[in-house]
């Protein structure tokens, strides 16, 4: 997200018990910088968490980042940025139910 980005949560429907997420595969050398960028973008967002990140065990060249949105859909701007970002090799989206 660009510096100073404030998402418009107004009108976004809170989806009780649903967790939305994305697993991102990218160059291993880009993981730490990307995690730092995500931390700065989402530091004031309680509904967004970086669940895990690191190197893919079967590949020295690939890394991964797992993000989750608790009770909200994934930000549209982030989805657009994933499509346009060179270091991103692949992404996988998931949704699961959380017992409340």
The pTM is what? 0.78
What confidence tens digit (pLDDT) does each residue in 18-72 have? 888 999 999 999 999 999 989 988 888 888 999 999 999 887 789 999 999 888 8
Q: What is the pLDDT of residue 97?
A: 80
Q: What is the 3-state secondary structure (H, E, C) of the chain?
A: CCCCCCCCCCCCCCCCCEEEEEEEEEEHHHHHHHHHHHHHHHCCCCCEEEEEEEECCCCCCEEEEEEEEECCCCCHHHHHHHHHCCCEEEEEEEEEECCC
> Which domains are delineated in the chain?
18-97 (3.30.70.260)
Confidence of residue 1 (pLDDT cuts 50, 70, 90): very low
- The confidence score (pLDDT) of residue 76 equals 80
* The Cα angle at residue 13 between residues 9 and 19, in degrees rounded to 5: 95
């Amino acid at each position: 997200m660009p510096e100073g980005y404030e998402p418009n949560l107004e009108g976004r429907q809170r989806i009780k018990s649903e967790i939305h997420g994305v697993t991102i595969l990218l160059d291993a050398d880009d993981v730490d910088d990307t995690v730092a960028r995500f931390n700065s973008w989402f530091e004031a967002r309680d509904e967004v968490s970086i669940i895990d990140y690191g190197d893919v065990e079967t590949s020295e060249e690939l890394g991964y980042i797992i993000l989750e949105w608790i009770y909200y859909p994934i930000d549209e701007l982030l989805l657009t940025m994933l499509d346009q970002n060179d270091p991103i090799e692949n992404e996988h989206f998931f949704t699961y139910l959380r017992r409340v």
